[in-house]
């Protein structure tokens, strides 16, 4: 019998790299994507069309997106866009899928995209509508969906309302994000279970950070709620430059290890992911890897890994 599958979007080329001190070349980003695709990753968030003044690392968005889509036509590739200007830049580069990013608090929106909550909601909705009208696939992040680094605990009702609004505006995939890795597993399970029921026509994904070592526990809580779509970042790299305390994303290798251990099919090879971690380490010049990477490497050395 076929195993039940989960769908993983590796966000390392975008969330993983956006806050790195080292400037990463377009060629090195392409090599990262090449290794991810070779590992069996079917979906990546390749870049963001944001202000190059705000995030210099993403200044090569157009060139990178074009090259990624040309080199791996079967790969699902999304690009983050904060506004209509970003959408238009993404369209000019041939984007097939875009993601808007709406934070659930006033202050986080202000720090991230220089808009208050109401304006950010309107702009995100307008960007989604325009993207759908142009035939693009869409995702919408609801960021700081549990805790905000500036405003503390975020009410569930507000997250539900924003999620509904994004779905109504045309978000085909709704990505609930624990941007700073401060959620509790019980809350992840409860909020995602509610949203799965409330948004039957929308694909529901979760985006987790491993700031406190709870990344896999949060992912397991999401699995228990019924979520089967996850963002993760190879090597556990990542974090929003405008959210203080946002440490690395849930590592793709940790998620794959956990999910496969639970009998779920990810379609992704762990040795292949380690090969991508090697590249990220070489480029960023420091040791990387999720909680499982050192153990996975030892298993590999002993010939016990795939
Ligand atoms: N891409 C590139 N440039 C953009 C842009 C986009 N999506 N949106 C606006 N700009 C440009 C404007 O053309 C203008 O350029 P100019 O100074 O040469 O005239 C400049 O940015 C200011 O425009 P404005 O609308 O006033 O933007 P802002 O200064 O209020 O910044 C954002 C708003 C959204 C562009 C900026 O905050 C941003 O890029 N944030 C990204 C945050 C991010 O990536 N966070 C991590 C991922 S969640
Ligand atoms: Zn993130």
Residue nearest to atom 12 of ligand 1 (CA): 51
Lowest mean per-residue pLDDT among 155-164, 179-188, 220-229, 236-245: 236-245
C-alpha to C-alpha distance for 154 and 105, rounded to whole angstroms: 7
Asked whether 83 lines ligand 1 (CB < 6 A), one says yes
List, in order, residues 6 or more apart from 59 with CB less than 8 Å away: 52
Asked whether 86 lines ligand 1 (CB < 6 A), one says yes
Asked whether 141 lines ligand 1 (CB < 6 A), one says no
Residue nearest to atom 32 of ligand 1 (CA): 113
C-alpha to C-alpha distance for 178 and 70, rounded to whole angstroms: 32
Between helices 270-284 and 26-38, what is the axis angle to 10°? 170
For residue 80, the ligand closest to its alpha carbon is: 1
Asked whether 289 lines ligand 1 (CB < 6 A), one says no
Rounded distance from Cα 127 to ligand 1 centre (Å): 14
Region 260-276 average pLDDT: 98
Against a cut of 0.85, is the pTM above it?
Answer: yes
Q: Give the distance from CA 292 to its chain's centroid.
A: 19
Rounded distance from Cα 301 to ligand 2 centre (Å): 31
Q: Return the ligand 1 atom nearest residue 15 CA.
A: 47
Residue nearest to atom 11 of ligand 1 (CA): 51
Active site residues: 240
Q: Cα torsion for 241, 45, 82, 56, to the nearest 10°?
A: 50
Nearest to 256 by CA among 10, 1, 2: 10
The 3-state secondary structure of 174-213 reads EEEECCCCCCCHHHHHHHHHHHHHHCCCCEEEEECECCCC
Cβ–Cβ under 8 Å, residues 47 and 82: no
Report pLDDT digits (tens) over 72-120: 999 999 999 999 999 999 999 999 999 999 999 999 999 999 999 999 9
Q: Return the ligand 1 atom nearest residue 179 CA.
A: 48
Rounded distance from Cα 246 to ligand 2 centre (Å): 8
Region 231-251 average pLDDT: 93
Asked whether 114 lines ligand 1 (CB < 6 A), one says yes
Asked whether 49 lines ligand 1 (CB < 6 A), one says yes
Q: In this model, does residue 16 exceed pLDDT 90?
A: yes
- Angle at the Cα of 30 (from 213 to 33), degrees rounded to 5? 45
Residue nearest to atom 28 of ligand 1 (CA): 114
List, in order, residues 6 or more apart from 85 with CB less than 8 Å away: 49
Domains with residue ranges and CATH for the chain:
7-301 (3.20.20.70)
Going by pLDDT thresholds of 50, 70 and 90, the confidence category of residue 247 is confident
Kind of pairing between the strands at 97-103 and 173-177: unpaired
Region 248-277 average pLDDT: 98
Report pLDDT digits (tens) over 17-69: 999 999 999 999 999 999 999 999 999 999 999 999 999 999 999 999 999 99
Going by pLDDT thresholds of 50, 70 and 90, the confidence category of residue 246 is confident
Cβ–Cβ under 8 Å, residues 140 and 170: no
Q: In this model, does residue 199 exceed pLDDT 80?
A: yes
C-alpha to C-alpha distance for 99 and 141, rounded to whole angstroms: 7
Q: In this model, does residue 1 exceed pLDDT 80?
A: no
Write down the mean pLDDT value for the chain: 97
Asked whether 101 lines ligand 1 (CB < 6 A), one says yes
């Amino acid at each position: 019998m076929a195993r039940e599958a989960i769908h993983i979007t590796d966000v390392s080329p975008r969330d993983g790299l956006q806050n790195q001190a080292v400037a990463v070349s377009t060629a090195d980003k392409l090599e990262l994507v090449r290794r991810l695709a070779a590992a069996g990753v079917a979906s990546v968030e390749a870049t963001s069309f944001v202000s190059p003044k705000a995030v210099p690392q993403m200044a090569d968005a157009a060139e990178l997106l074009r090259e990624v889509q040309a080199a791996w036509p079967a790969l699902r590739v999304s690009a983050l866009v904060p506004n209509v200007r970003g959408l238009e830049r993404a369209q000019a580069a041939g984007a097939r899928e875009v993601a808007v990013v709406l934070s659930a608090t006033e202050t986080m929106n202000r720090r991230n995209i220089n808009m208050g909550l109401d304006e950010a909601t309107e702009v995100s909705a307008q960007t989604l509508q325009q993207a759908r009208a142009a035939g693009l696939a869409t995702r919408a992040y609801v960021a700081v969906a549990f805790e905000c680094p500036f405003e503390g605990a975020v009410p569930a009702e507000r997250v539900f309302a924003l999620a509904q609004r994004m779905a109504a505006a045309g978000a085909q995939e709704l990505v609930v994000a624990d941007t700073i890795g401060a959620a509790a597993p019980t809350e992840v399970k409860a909020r995602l279970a509610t949203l799965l029921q409330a948004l039957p026509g929308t694909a529901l994904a979760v985006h987790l950070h491993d700031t406190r070592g709870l990344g896999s526990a949060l992912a397991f809580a999401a699995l228990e709620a019924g979520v089967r779509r996850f963002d993760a970042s190879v090597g556990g790299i990542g974090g929003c430059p405008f959210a203080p305390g946002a440490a690395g994303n849930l590592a793709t290798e940790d998620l794959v290890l956990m999910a496969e251990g639970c009998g779920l099919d990810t379609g992704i090879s762990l040795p292949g992911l380690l090969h991508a971690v090697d590249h990220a380490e070489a480029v960023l010049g420091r040791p990387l890897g999720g909680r499982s990477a050192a153990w996975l490497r030892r298993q590999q050395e002993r010939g016990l890994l795939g």
